[in-house]
Amino acid sequence: MEYIRGLIDNVNTMLVDNLGELGPLIAVGGLGVLLVLVTLPALLSKEKDPFSKLGKDAGADGADLAERARLRQGGKNEKLERFAQYLEPQTEAELSATQLQMIRAGYRSKSSVQMFNFAKLAGGIGGLLLGSLYLLVSGGGDSAQNSIFMVLIPGAVGYYAPVYWVKRRMQSREDEINGGFPDALDLMLVCVEAGQSLDQAIVKVAREIKPSYPALAEEFQIVSYEMKAGKDKTKVLRDMGERVDIQDVNSFITTLIQSASFGTSVAEALRVYASEMRDKRVMRAEEKANKLPTKLTLFTMMFCVPPLLIILIGPSIYGIATDLSR
């Protein structure tokens, strides 16, 4: 008993000497995180269902079926479903807001919310482990406060990295949709004036713009599939506006709905709105071009002025310093 107590005291002293006053607490926390990571694979592992092979062997019409399955909000991940109560928001409003955010980022699976929260959890735990490992390798910080920061900062970075990634995805999709929307309207106008209905024009546009603007083509494909399923056209268009959340798209949807309600020509509405979208795209390009000189001024001041001052004033300063030293 005395031997065990002495061993514990020695380990405690070593932790305090290397990690500071919070050394035992950091060690216990790291051990707990390690045990959680060791236990997770055993909890998540599940044998494959033998009957699942029947669905794979039955496949038909692979390309179109796979495309529809990708756009459909597919089944949830069974492994993550076990921990749904921990990986999903508890309130309906927060869950709906998170799901809408993931859809706007391009992640349409039902398990996307769970994957998002799991990525935050795994990133946070991984960051804490890396921080603890670095703290052990470096021999500890100068003080307990520095040691805590060395562990917590990587954990915070790992936790918020998925949030930053999702926001970047949302912004990139928004830029892509804004860039391709005028071309899509021009193509839709050509299809409508050629005698096709609005539903056929949307299908044609989704097929033609897919190589250039896959995000916008995906939204139009969802609209076409929902219309084929018999969903109300107004509801389908409003759902698209909610998914995309872009002012130009929402205005276009409002124009189509009003045109259908009042019985006016869809082609005429498309022609006017397509012209406005082209003008807006030119205005956005001119705005970026006008901002460029202002942005370049800062880098010019940083990288051009200091070397120029050194070249012009440096010899004079050197001469004055030499004269004073004499």
d(CA 151, CA 126): 11
Among the listed residues 111, 123, 219, 195, the one whose alpha carbon sits nearest the alpha carbon of residue 163: 123
Structure confidence at residue 79 (pLDDT): 62
Q: Which of 218, 261, 260 is nearest to 243 (CA)?
A: 218
Give residue 53's pLDDT.
47
Cα–Cα nearest to 277, from 254, 256, 241, 248: 248
* 56 half-sphere exposure, CB direction, 13 A CA radius: 6
* pLDDT value of residue 194: 87
Give residue 2's pLDDT: 64
Output phi, psi for 5, to 5 deg. -65, -40
pLDDT of residue 274: 85
Per run of 10 residues, the mean pLDDT along the chain (length 326 residues) is 65 69 67 68 54 46 55 56 64 83 84 84 87 78 74 87 91 88 88 86 89 89 88 87 86 84 82 85 87 83 82 84 78
Provide the pLDDT for residue 51.
43
- The pTM of this model reads 0.65
Letter string b/e over residues 129-167, b meaning 16 or more CB atoms within 10 A of that residue's CB: bebbeebeeeebbeebeebbebbeebbebbbebbeeebe
Domain ranges (residues) in the chain? 2-41+83-170, 172-287
